[in-house]
């Protein structure tokens, strides 16, 4: 018997949704950072198993959103929940030194949304690598009280521990299918130029501080692979790093261009690994005041349902 269908990975920001997607795919298709609200769009990853094909959507972290950017992120995640066969709610084991047991208000709200969707749901408790095993028991009990989970799976997206149990639990909940939904070689819906923009944003988020990681957007203006086609092995990429203020621009560029250079070098190295070619990456920093509040800018950047 073969099963195939869609799963939405939902949860609060920073719990490891994108790390899990990458782990399942064995490729870095969704950017990851130590900061919350990294993912802004939904990202499809297709896992091809022996008896099942699991199409997973990584989604932006669910939170109380205020700005138009954040509201669109939340709408994207909730909209995805409505379209899938199965929900995977991710939470993290033990935040901070006082290992947290209470699921908290946001997780209660997300669980409510899952209940409203009428979808079967799996609870994934991520980051078990950083807590003693025994401390998990009260956590599992607390979450069991929230919803009738089809399965509760503690795992670590970072080390891969127990991730196979998670895929088995998800696969078992998918509808029976005559045939796979996607060809064997399909891994993601992310175009290479989108991945290029995201890789730059990932490094820029990682290397900057305070409000800057959230005020960043990256737009690829040039993606020239003509030399790759001719066997020259070079992809030429030109990207704009958008910020909201001149002061932020100065920081992203850095003294004598040093910060922008670090961002560019790190992104280029990762891109070369992904694309399997040499990459020439040119970055420019530009200011667009309040882009996070402008519908046209968000649309241009591909953010929103």
Ligand X SMILES: Nc1nc2c(ncn2[C@@H]2O[C@H](COP(=O)(O)OP(=O)(O)OP(=O)(O)O)[C@@H](O)[C@H]2O)c(=O)[nH]1
Residues near ligand X, by CB under 6 A? 13-19, 32-34, 36-39, 60-61, 126-127, 129-130, 156-158
Instruction: Single out the segment in contact with Mg ion by CB under 5 A; choices: 17-25, 106-114, 156-164, 229-237.
Output: 17-25
Q: Which is nearer to Mg ion, 39 or 203 (CB)?
A: 39
Written as six digits, the tokens of 222 are 């040039």
**188-205 burial: b if 16+ Cβ within 10 Å, else e:** bebeebbbbbbbbbbbbb
β-partners of residue 154 are 125
- If one asks whether residue 80 binds Mg ion (CB under 5 A), the answer comes out as no
Query: Minimum distance between the CB of residue 40 and ligand X, rounded to whole angstroms?
Result: 8
Alpha helices in the chain (DSSP H): 17-25, 68-83, 104-117, 136-144, 163-173, 192-207, 212-215, 226-229, 246-253, 258-275, 295-300
Query: Minimum distance between the CB of residue 214 and ligand X, rounded to whole angstroms?
Result: 11
Q: Which is nearer to Mg ion, 17 or 268 (CB)?
A: 17
Residue owning tokens 């970072």: 158
Written as six digits, the tokens of 244 are 């909201």
Instruction: Single out the segment in contact with Mg ion by CB under 5 A; choices: 10-18, 20-28, 146-154, 265-273.
Output: 10-18
Instruction: Single out the segment in contact with Mg ion by CB under 5 A; choices: 15-23, 46-54, 65-73, 166-174.
Output: 15-23
Closest CA to 304 of 113, 110, 88, 68: 68
Instruction: Tell which one of 4, 18, 143, 218 touches Mg ion (CB under 5 A).
Output: 18
CB atoms within 10 A of CB 107: 22
13 binds, among ligand X, Mg ion, none (CB under 5 to 8 A by kind): ligand X
Q: Which is nearer to ligand X, 232 or 302 (CB)?
A: 302
Query: Minimum distance between the CB of residue 37 and Mg ion, rounded to whole angstroms?
Result: 8
Q: Which is nearer to Mg ion, 3 or 40 (CB)?
A: 40
Total of chain residues touching Mg ion, rule CB under 5 A: 4
Written as six digits, the tokens of 299 are 């649309």
Q: Which is nearer to ligand X, 37 or 76 (CB)?
A: 37
Q: Which is nearer to ligand X, 34 or 134 (CB)?
A: 34
What is the distance between the alpha carbons of residues 130 and 93, in angstroms, rounded to a whole number? 8
Instruction: Tell which one of 22, 37, 39, 41 touches Mg ion (CB under 5 A).
Output: 39
Q: Counting Cβ atoms within 10 Å, is residue 230 exposed (0-12), middle (13-18) or buried (19+)?
A: exposed
What is the distance between the alpha carbons of residues 291 and 301, in angstroms, rounded to a whole number? 10
Q: Which is nearer to ligand X, 88 or 259 (CB)?
A: 88
Query: Minimum distance between the CB of residue 56 and Mg ion, rounded to whole angstroms?
Result: 12
Q: Which residues bind Mg ion (CB under 5 A)?
A: 17-18, 38-39
């Amino acid at each position: 018997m073969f099963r195939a269908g869609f799963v939405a990975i939902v949860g609060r920001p920073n719990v490891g949704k994108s790390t899990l997607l990458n782990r399942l795919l064995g490729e870095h298709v969704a950017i990851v950072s130590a900061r919350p609200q990294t993912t802004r769009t939904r990202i499809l990853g297709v896992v091809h198993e022996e008896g099942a094909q699991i199409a997973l959507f990584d989604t932006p972290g669910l939170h109380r959103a205020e700005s138009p950017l954040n509201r669109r992120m939340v709408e994207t995640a909730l909209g995805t929940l409505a379209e899938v066969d199965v929900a995977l709610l991710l939470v993290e084991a033990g935040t901070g030194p006082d290992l947290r047991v209470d699921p908290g208000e946001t997780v209660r709200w997300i669980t409510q949304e899952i209940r409203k969707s009428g979808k079967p749901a799996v609870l994934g408790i991520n980051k078990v690598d950083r807590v003693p095993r025994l401390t998990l028991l009260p956590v599992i009990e607390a979450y069991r009280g929230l919803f009738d989970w089809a399965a509760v799976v503690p795992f670590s997206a970072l080390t891969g521990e127990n991730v196979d149990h998670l895929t088995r639990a998800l696969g078992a909940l998918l509808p029976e299918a005559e045939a796979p939904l996607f060809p064997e070689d399909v891994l993601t819906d992310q175009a290479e130029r989108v991945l290029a923009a995201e890789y730059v944003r990932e490094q820029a988020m990682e290397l900057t501080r305070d409000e800057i990681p959230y005020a960043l957007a990256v737009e690829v203006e040039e993606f020239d692979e003509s030399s790759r086609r001719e066997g020259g092995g070079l992809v030429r990429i030109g990207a704009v790093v958008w910020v909201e203020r001149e002061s932020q621009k100065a920081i992203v560029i850095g003294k004598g261009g040093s910060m922008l250079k670090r961002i560019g070098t790190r992104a280029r190295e990762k891109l070369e690994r992904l694309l399997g070619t040499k990459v020439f990456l040119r970055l420019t920093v530009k200011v667009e005041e309040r882009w996070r509040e402008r519908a046209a800018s968000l649309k241009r950047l591909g953010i929103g349902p």
